[in-house]
Amino acid sequence: MIKFTKMQGLGNDYVYIDGINQKIENESSLARFVSDRHFGIGSDGLILICKSDVADFKMRMFNSDGSEAEMCGNGIRCVGKFVYDKGLTKKTTLEIETLAGIKKLELNIKDNKVETVKVDMGEPILEAEEIPVISQSSPAKLELEVFEKNFEFTCVSMGNPHAITIVDNVKDFDVEKYGKVIEIDKHFPKRINVEFIEIINKSEMKMRVWERGAGETLACGTGACASVVSCILNELTDRKVKVHLLGGILDIEWNKENNHVYMTGPAVTVFEGTLE
């Protein structure tokens, strides 16, 4: 019997399991099962909270197809809420180990529960080999033709790889048609998360995302961060931007002094249960 908590950040939903006090095996198979919205619990993936030798906790994230990913911005905010609300810690400033490095969280508490979380996402990675993407430019840029439509991408890694492109009307854009082809393009050795964005003004943008291994989701925290970085690099926005996603709004800032990207947004518990 495995106890779980279903949580979401802007509709980007995961099944969260305490891997400290419970023994979890066959993580990839478990992720595929719990993610199934007809025969499982229903989620964009599985996140395990584990012990860490280098931070307060370790986060392991699995996509709905069972593949393990480096990081999830919406997911890590819910990790902060999980460990505080469950009494695993009373600290309001936390360090979380991920495959993308250690991330720092500031928990905003209301009525003894975590309401929002600010995450120090670290420095963006802009070099093509480190993202990785096959590109000769720095910062990494790429032009692709997909179904006779030309795209210009700026590529950024926030610990996981992203390709960002601007479209005229993101609401009516066919994210699935293009996203699933771009994800597996040969220029992306580890596949890619694809962000389609529409600039509203210097401090606001709209974004939809095709996530590697999950398809279109309602939100992507690392994708929002990467999108803001790409727009600043192309002199399209200011350094503080509200990103409007299908699931809600994230506040993103690329700090000029320390080069770190900060993301602030909600974390919500949906329901809890026990899995046989």
Tokens encoding 196: 């389609």
Distant-in-sequence, close-in-space partners of 23: CB < 8 Å, separation ≥ 6: none
| CA neighbor of 240 nearest in space, from 207, 223, 262, 266 | 262
**95-108 burial: b if 16+ Cβ within 10 Å, else e:** ebbbebeebbbebe
Three-state SS at 231: helix
| CA neighbor of 100 nearest in space, from 249, 239, 225, 273 | 225
How many helices and strands, by DSSP H and E, does the chain display? 4, 18
**What is the rounded CA–CA span in Å between residue 5 and residue 263?**
23
**What is the rounded CA–CA span in Å between residue 214 and residue 167?**
22
> DSSP H helical segments within 6-157, as ranges?
27-35, 73-85
Three-state SS at 229: helix
**What is the rounded CA–CA span in Å between residue 125 and residue 276?**
41
Q: What does the CA dihedral 118, 121, 123, 127 come to, rounded to 10 degrees?
A: -140
Q: Which residues pair with 129 in a beta bridge?
A: none
Active-site residues, by number, are 72, 220
Helix axes 73-85, 221-233, angle to 10 degrees: 140
